[in-house]
Amino acid sequence: MSSVADALLDPKNDYVFKRLFGEAPELLVSLINDLRPDLPEIRSVEILNPGINAEELRGKYIILDVLARDGEGHADNIEIQVRRDGAWGARALYYLARMLAQQLEQGEDYATLRAAVGIHLLDFDLFADTSEQRAQARWRFEMRDARQPEVTLGNRLQLTLIELKKADRLGLGADPLSAWITFFEHWREEQTMAAIEHAPIQEALNRVRQLSADEEARRLAFVRERALHDEVSLLKEAREEGREEGREEGREEGEQLGMQKGRLAAAQDTARNLIALGVLSDGQIAQATGLTVAQVEALR
């Protein structure tokens, strides 16, 4: 591994990820199509949130995602996650449902609804309880009947998850999806990357090189990485504090207390971010975060 490769920024840093795909619509089109090869291709996208502000970079419990609208009017939310927390699934579903609900103005026909599509790249194993789960790394969730999954309510709500580390271990073949997984997991390995012939991957790698040569981009990527490390440290400290307090009451109770404090801290930070957006009521924020309305009012 050369010093040049060592200097490359990590595309799994969500600041770098957003710069890569939020500023390059054609590259984002390739990514979306390659990550969902069994669905109809999209031909164009409009990036809805290309900018990144300083508060987002320093904000804990915030994900820098890419929001886009494709040529058919469907809304897409593409993001990468490097850390797992207990509220991840609830947050993903909440924002997906919100994307769907925000399409209609008062009095508009429900028939005009377009799909709300989530595409989340996870750099951790989310499903690993059974041998079947450990053998699958790409998942797509839609509204289907539990007993007869062939009976659906359509695909207006879609959530595609790809567990990157698991997919890399399993080895998905030589298709474009596998090439993207290799990119995100082995971007610093020059020989590995040089062997990939898929043109969008080489374009993404060139964009990483350009960002890595930009001192300001490197600084902001570090700011973002530090904020994520701070988040992990805060949760760890809360768990440790709970363990200390719980030693007198028993080890198990202390562990539970620490986890509760960590979850509360995460919920409070999420609530503060939602309050700052200024679009949700206290009741909606309470429902999204698991806090009480009184707790949300206190945070205001």
* Amino acid 173: pLDDT: 74
* Amino acid 150: pLDDT: 94
Residue 276's identity, in one-letter code, is A
**Residue ranges of the chain with pLDDT lower than 70?**
1-6, 58-62, 86, 172, 229-259, 261-262, 266, 273-274, 276-279
Phi, psi at 291, each rounded to 5°? -80, 165
Hey, what's the torsion of the CAs at 25, 30, 34, 38, to 10 degrees?
A: 80
* Sign of torsion over alpha carbons 233, 269, 288, 229: negative
Q: Where are the beta strands (DSSP E) in the chain?
A: 45-47, 66-70, 75-81, 116-122, 138-141, 157-163
Phi, psi at 272, each rounded to 5°? -60, -40
| Cα–Cα distance for residue pair 56/52, rounded to 1 Å | 7
Cβ(261)–Cβ(230) below 8 Å = no
| Sheet containing strand 157-163, strands side by side | 45-47, 66-70, 75-81, 116-122, 157-163, 138-141
* Amino acid 82: pLDDT: 84
Burial 234-250 (b: 16+ CB within 10 A, else e): bbeebbeebbeebeeee
Q: Cα 298 to the chain's mean position, in Å? A: 29
What DSSP string runs through 153-192? S-SSEEEEEEEHHHHHHH---SSHHHHHHHHHHHTT-HHH
* Amino acid 62: pLDDT: 67
> How do 45-47 and 75-81 pair as beta strands?
unpaired
* Amino acid 110: pLDDT: 85
| Cα–Cα distance for residue pair 265/135, rounded to 1 Å | 34
Cα-based distances in Å from 226 to 15, 129, 222, 232: 12, 32, 6, 10
| Residue-wise pLDDT tens digits, 26-83 | 999 999 999 999 899 999 999 999 988 777 776 656 678 999 999 999 999 999 998 7
